[in-house]
Amino acid sequence: MEKAKIAFFDAKPYDKKSFDEVVPGYGFEIAYFADKLNDKTVGLTKGFDAVCLFVNDVVDKGMVAALAANGVKLIALRCAGYNNIDLEAVYGCIHVVRVPAYSPHAVAEHAVALILGLDRKIHKAYYRVREGNFSIDGLIGFDLFGKTIGVVGTGKIGGVLISIARGFGMKVLAYDPNPDREYEKEGVRFVDLPELYGASDIISLHCPLTRETHHLINGQTISGMKDGVLIINTGRGGLIDTKALIGGLKSGKIGGAGLDVYEEESDYFFEDLSSEVITDDVLARLLTFPNVLVTSHQAFFTKEAMRNIADTTCGNITEFFGGGLVKNEICYRCNTVCKKKQDQRCF
């Protein structure tokens, strides 16, 4: 059988490193492209059997026909979230696989880094001390012990965060449309969103970005939160209406925000733009707050996660072109996780 050809978009040096360590064990060829996949670069896919994409490569309705005409049969996402793919548009034409879990610990631990960094003002202390300013005035934080964290989405990442928060001696409130009652044994209380917003000192978002969760955090929901609440988002930028968040920060209603994702991140995150002017005024405003910590979608970025991403992505591609069932396929008809019969694919 001829080797499948994979076009790998938005390739960064660290991606190449982790995939080059794994790919020789699998039977396909990879070509790396530094560009993101978009309507200008879709022509690069001619003659490739699959594209390997990351969070900011967008496949919309308009692109599907071009990809299929170029011979692409598979979109192999090297991430967990799939909000960047129009699943309805690709259904029946191109299969989609993803990496459902590579290290929930990486993301949950980063959420904790944002919480602790903001609470104890590590970002400010770091610069003060380097400047010879050893004053601690203004750096006062609060104990996490005894405080309440509201976890929105108690899947793999939310679940790990719950365990860490319990280790800190925090009270945990949670909301999930499909609550895993096992967490109640750990002292977690499932509540509706208004109660979670009203009672939490820290709110951390771990649900997928869908039509229902778009702008979950908005002016109205912010008004129902505790004064001084910390909002942490390592989920997806679109979960938060950023302008409303800025309003809450300006009024002091929100005590701080730790953001690993931003709704308009695709032109900025993962790129070195240190010599450029930021033309996104919303992002620029966010970066002016002393109580906002923004990281550039790096929550997943640990050695362990990168190795798992490369292994699972290569396994997904091999399963697909081997003709068998692909356990990590997602599809529109099956409502995200493909529930194929044992002997057939959905299409």
The site for ligand NAD, by CB under 6 A, has a size of 30
The residue (of 28 and 301) whose beta carbon lies closer to ligand NAD is: 301
Distance in Å, CB of 136 to ligand NAD, minimum: 31
Compare residues 27 and 100 and give the one whose CB is closer to ligand NAD: 100
* 265, 271, 276, 333: the active-site residue: 265
Residue 81 interacts with ligand NAD (CB under 6 A)? Answer: yes
Q: Based on CB atoms, which residue is closest to ligand NAD, 10 or 260? A: 260
Q: Which of these, 127, 136, 53, lies nearest to 330 by C-alpha position?
A: 53
Q: Could you tell me which residues are beta bridge partners of residue 66?
A: none
Known catalytic membership, residue 110:
no
**Angle formed at CA 262 by CA 261 and CA 267, multiple of 5 degrees:** 105
Measured from the CB atom, the residue of 42 and 104 that comes closer to ligand NAD is: 104
**Which amino acid is it at 17?**
K
Cα(328)–Cα(301) distance, integer angstroms = 21
**Nearest of 209, 267, 281 to residue 240 by alpha carbon:** 209
The correct pick among 28, 32, 124, 155 for binding ligand NAD (CB under 6 A) is 155
* Tokens at 346, concatenated: 């959905």
Q: Which of 30, 59, 95, 104 binds ligand NAD (CB under 6 A)?
A: 104
Confirm or reject binding of residue 297 to ligand NAD (CB under 6 A).
yes
258 binds ligand NAD (CB under 6 A): no
Q: Catalytic: 297?
A: yes
Q: Does residue 177 bind ligand NAD (CB under 6 A)?
A: yes
Can you tell me whether residue 131 is helix, strand or coil?
coil
Q: Nearest 5°: phi and psi at 140?
A: -65, 135
Cα dihedral 175, 180, 181, 186 sign: negative
Q: Is 330 in a helix, a strand, or coil?
A: strand
Q: Which residues are catalytic?
A: 236, 265, 297
- Contact positions vs ligand NAD (CB under 6 A): 80-81, 101, 104, 107, 152-158, 175-178, 206-209, 212-213, 234-236, 260-261, 297, 299-300
